[in-house]
Structure 1
Amino acid sequence: MGKSGTAAKNLLLARGTPASAVHTFDEKNMTADFTQWEQLNSLPVGALVVSPGVPLASAHIVALKSKGWKITSEINLACAHLTDEVVIGITGSVGKSTVTSLLGEALRTDDPNAFVGGNLGIPFAEYAFQLLTQKKKARYIAIELSSYQLENCADLKLDYSAITFLSSNHLERYASADAYYMIKCEIGAKTKQTCVLNESSKDLVQYRARIPGKTELVSYQKSNEKSYLEKSYLIGEHNLDNLAVALKLAQHLHLSAQALDAMTQFKGLYHRLETVGIFNGNLFINDSKATAMDSVQVATQAALTKTDKTKKLYLLLGGKDKNLPWNELNILSQYSNIHFIFFGQCGELAQLKSQLVGALYNKLGDAIKYVFKNLQPGDVVLLSPGGTSLDEFKNFEDRGNYFKAQIQEHYCVDI
């Protein structure tokens, strides 16, 4: 049972539901469908808390609903315990975790008890559990919502909301991109005040008229908060748009100047264009999560905006191959100040297919040592590998942490 299921169970027990009346079903097959339906069907009609990963269109769930079962979610369970908290919901195909985290920095500045979670890290039911067991009440709540969660949260009422971006996704679950987009747009129907939209998302702008309630377009280019945007550690125009969305939400909430300033100190989600720091005049960027060519190109373009044309951008490429189209990176050859360093199991293959000229090493550690040896003040270093991490590391987090540890050791600093 995942985090949301565990949180739902804990909440049910905390509010007095007898342990004998709470049944959990942990086993799943490859289609995320329960394997214990016979046992479930033998129980008296009750409520079924469905994991977001299980489609509501499942024949088993439809059958239970027809028998009178209430189909609900851990988010709905949590909503029963809300009183006057200000609730902000954030969704989008990409960018929702960044906007939720940014807003969280601001909310915690003005309200140390603010809850930030949902699809991002901490299940919403955990807030209700703490409310019951510790009397820890928040003034503000920021919830990241996936499309799966939006399908099953009828009891959720939002004061403000945001949609960060729309792009085709999860078509294994939805009949079309339009069906997926409309699930995202339904967040507007749950919003009492304003739903903030990222104007840089073309599809989102096209769907604006189909979003219920009041909406407002924002972008970093048109934002009136230039001073905050200019101070931000975030890298890339897409991240500045994310900050513009978070700033607009903060303004609607009338947060303090200190709260808004706290957002400028956010260095990005770990391993996703994360600003590691500036040491001896060199900016280091950790984008270890990048395991696709489009991600590498976005990261490289973002890093180039931080690189003086007279200085070098050291780009670390490689890892383990997964039949990647490395040839798509050849477009980067037009930038004379990019210094390519290939590493890992697919380093040689990546170099061959991309036809990019650069140094080649078997291990990431050796590639990093090469960078340290050749760095000049003002140069920028970007780890955006393209390949997966499994040739040397457990996962992309492990790889990113290794990169940061090497920087920490080299400069004798705490990161």
Structure 2
Amino acid sequence: MFKSSLVQKKVVILGGGESGTGAAILAKSKGFGVFLSDRGLLNQKYIDVLNSENIPFEQGSHSESRILESDLVIKSPGIPDTVALIVALKEKGIPVISEIEFASRYTTAKLIAITGSNGKTTTTLLTYHLLKNAGLNVGLAGNIGDSFAWQVAEKQFDYYVLEISSFQLDNIQDFHPKIAVLLNITPDHLDRYGYNFQNYIDSKFNIVQNQTSEDHFIFFEDSEVITAELLKRIINAQKVKISLANKLTEGAYLDEGKLVSNVGNSTFEQTFAALPIKGPHNAINALAAIAVAQLVGVSAEKIAEGLKSFTNAPHRLEEVEVIDNVTYINDSKATNVDSVFYALGSFERPVVLIAGGVDKGNDYSQIETLVRNKVKALIVLSKDFEKLETYFSGIVPQIYITQDVQDAVNKAQEWSVPGDIVLLSPACASFDLFKNYEDRGDKFKAAVRNLTSQNHH
């Protein structure tokens, strides 16, 4: 029997969600021998795809011996580098990379990569919208939407706008964005980084490691963490600054309510209040998106048009209803304290805050002043309520504890008066009472809509 001398390289994919399944499809299309392994159970949608593509897979456990025979491993961002299997692979010298690294090897599209502890989804969606609205052939991927690898296998784009998490950046080698955006770095996910903030900072800065002087690095200059880090590093890319505090001759900034961006030989100005997104953090997000659009040559006219027609993702400061002149806001995506800091900073009116969930080692001191000044009542929606209750008793006049979302919303309605904001901004993960933050947000919205119907009877 004739056997080719070109042995099919064996690629193992760990994790069979959106990114893992996409990586499997791309690997198969490039002629690799592919095996996918997930310790958990796969979603039926992905089982059907793998079967139709004849890609062998296992679920419920990992066949270690088979995995340790591979030439390359692509791992899901959810799997820490510290688990025994990954350690064993590295000891054997088998490269372990992320899906974004793998996909980037097979596309000639220009990559725009956006990271930061907060605001990256909004910035990614807005950047994508500005480029698409201007008629560019652009894909959206990364930590959002459809798998990057899957799109590389099946579509042809000139640009990709990628939302990139630190977990994805931990396992890159040659990943090379033409434009990299770093919005902010605040302590988050420290459980994954040995409770060492510097490890997390290093991970975020991986985004620039392969950039050259032909590329651009957009960053938020007002972040002390970022500016301190820049003093320690040599960055090859051309730097583009964003600021809310300083007027910049080159860069993008907020000046008395106006977004001004002098980037890539063009100037853009727009009143921030005219945009559909509100709050100081969204000024940063908008400036970053505008700067990217200017760098890829989008006209000022098209940028202005795109900014006006943008709609943000659900569960991020999403207005649900106004009932009896009280505005109900769903910010379920706020799974860390920093997001809540931004949320509270977006409102001038008194707030009834609904918070709580699985605490990832939160430090509530960073929102203490805002809470003292703005929050008239705190409703803790959680099984794990002691820490929040203890911290804020004496700071917030009234606190109520519940494990039921409808009960929480009913209490918020009882405690609010016309002109108030009822804000779900949990500061915590959702797994104690909900499937995920989307589920939490959806149940909150349903509970709010129940209020309206009660009023009509």
TM-score (norm 2): 0.69
Letter in 1 for 2:67: L
Tell me how many residue pairs correspond in the alignment.
385
> Any conservation in 1 of the 2:270–2:304 contact (CA below 8 Å)?
no
1:46 paired with 2:84, answer no
Which of 250, 254, 272 is 1:229 aligned to? 272
In structure 2, distance between residues paired with 1:269 and 1:95 = 11
Which of 269, 273, 281 is 1:238 aligned to? 281
Letter in 2 for 1:10: I
In structure 2, distance between residues paired with 1:378 and 1:243 = 27
Task: Note the alpha carbon deviations across 1:191-214, whole angstroms, 9 max, x for none.
Answer: 332110111211111222413322
The Cα of 1:326 is off from its aligned counterpart by: 8.1
Partner of 2:90: 62
Letter in 2 for 1:190: N
Which of 346, 354, 362 is 2:393 aligned to? 354
In structure 1, distance between residues paired with 2:73 and 2:384 = 49
Task: Note the alpha carbon deviations across 1:10-50, whole angstroms, 9 max, x for none.
Answer: 11223444xxx32223238xxxxx95332234x4x633334
Letter in 2 for 1:103: T
Q: Which has the higher contact order (CA 8 A, sep 6+)?
A: 1
In structure 1, distance between residues paired with 2:200 and 2:428 = 29
Partner of 1:273: 317
Letter in 2 for 1:61: L
1:13 paired with 2:28, answer yes
In structure 2, distance between residues paired with 1:325 and 1:118 = 29
Partner of 1:200: 222
In structure 2, distance between residues paired with 1:326 and 1:156 = 36
* C-alpha distance 324-404 of structure 1, shift in aligned 2 (>3 A): same
Partner of 1:130: 154
In structure 2, distance between residues paired with 1:138 and 1:112 = 9
Which of 115, 119, 125 is 1:91 aligned to? 115
* C-alpha distance 50-398 of structure 1, shift in aligned 2 (>3 A): closer
> Any conservation in 2 of the 1:282–1:377 contact (CA below 8 Å)?
yes
Letter in 2 for 1:196: I
* C-alpha distance 409-357 of structure 1, shift in aligned 2 (>3 A): same
Which of 17, 24, 45 is 2:36 aligned to? 24
Task: Note the alpha carbon deviations across 1:310-342, whole angstroms, 9 max, x for none.
Answer: xxx24133566869888997756753x754263
In structure 2, distance between residues paired with 1:107 and 1:332 = 36
Which of 204, 207, 211 is 1:184 aligned to? 204
Letter in 2 for 1:107: L
The Cα of 1:282 is off from its aligned counterpart by: 5.1
Partner of 2:159: 140
Partner of 1:310: none
> Any conservation in 2 of the 1:316–1:382 contact (CA below 8 Å)?
yes
Which of 83, 88, 100 is 1:75 aligned to? 100
What's the secondary structure of 1:23's corresponding residue? strand
The Cα of 1:142 is off from its aligned counterpart by: 0.8
The Cα of 1:101 is off from its aligned counterpart by: 1.9
> Any conservation in 1 of the 2:80–2:192 contact (CA below 8 Å)?
no
In structure 2, distance between residues paired with 1:383 and 1:286 = 5
* C-alpha distance 126-328 of structure 1, shift in aligned 2 (>3 A): closer
Structure (1 or 2) with the greater strand fraction? 2
Partner of 2:7: none
TM-score (norm 1): 0.75
> Any conservation in 2 of the 1:284–1:382 contact (CA below 8 Å)?
yes
Q: CA RMSD in A?
A: 3.9
Where structure 2 has 5 or more consecutive residues not aligned to the other structure, the ranges are: 1-14, 41-60, 248-252, 254-259, 262-268
* C-alpha distance 343-77 of structure 1, shift in aligned 2 (>3 A): closer
Aligned-residue identity in percent = 27
Where structure 1 has 5 or more consecutive residues not aligned to the other structure, the ranges are: 29-33, 132-136, 308-312
